[in-house]
Structure 1
Amino acid sequence: MPLLMRYTGVIGADTSSSVPVSNMDLMPTLLEYAGVKHSEGLSAVSLRPLIEGSQTAQRDVFCELDGMNDPNHWIYWNAPRTDLRAVYRENWKYIHHVGRPAEDELYQLNATSIYETTNLLTSEPVVAQDLYRAILSNFSLWKNALPFIAR
């Protein structure tokens, strides 16, 4: 996600990074800067090493979208849905359409394809399979860790 931070005296005015981050990382980051210890076992990590320039390695960033297809549907939880799960790894983005794998997408995020117009799913099968497995692994853990809430 795009992120802007300001911390006078700590973060330089011209500091930037292209490493993807997750909004979940904000809590441990702010807690660490405040000197407050946070709980172990969080999937989020502090961005402090990245902000201060001691970390350049990337990790997978996962996201999920449970979207409504028909915003005019009068009962929200009965409306047709689009469930998407995605992973960002280095300069790749894989989007999994839950229940509709034929619609899955793979993009190489670089200066020539910033608008995600060329789906590389079939031309990059090794990358696609690796990222798809990462999505299955990550979200199977997530679904087992939290209770299911029926609509």
Structure 2
Amino acid sequence: MLSHIDTNGNPTMVDVTAKQVSHRTATARSIVSLPDEVLVHLTNGDLQTKKGSVFQTAIIAGIMAAKKTGDLIPLCHPLGLDNCNISINVNEVNEVVIDCTASITAKTGVEMEALVGASIAALTVYDMCKAMSHDIVIKETKLLAKTGGKRDFRRA
């Protein structure tokens, strides 16, 4: 059964009234593939452009977006996050790996907040680098892990 559909088939917000408050975390990852003409600007673990530090700006954008998830996704509960952390690294195959971890003590989880944070950070990397190349690919965004609620999840 879909949790955002009522008995009449209409969209609805999930009622969390009866749920227990617990500490909940979620970590999501977005991967961005950058072409060589962008990667040549990588120095000291960041990309510098005329717009400024790409990764530092993406971190701020991702955190801001995670905090606004309830405004962006219609049936998400508006949440006051306890924490949101974004890390950005370049892996061994020269992909930008963006991890966003969100946490809260509440009746509902923060998977969407982590996914939105990672996604917007990836889009910010794209935006800040597109003047150098449009051959940038946001390859994937996925949930890596979540804790709290009915069950924990960890991607193998």
What range describes the TM-score normalised by the shorter chain of this pair?
Answer: under 0.3
TM-score (norm 2): 0.23
Q: TM-score w.r.t. structure 1 length?
A: 0.23
The answer to which structure, 1 or 2, has the higher relative contact order (CA under 8 A, 6+ apart) is 2
Larger radius of gyration: 1
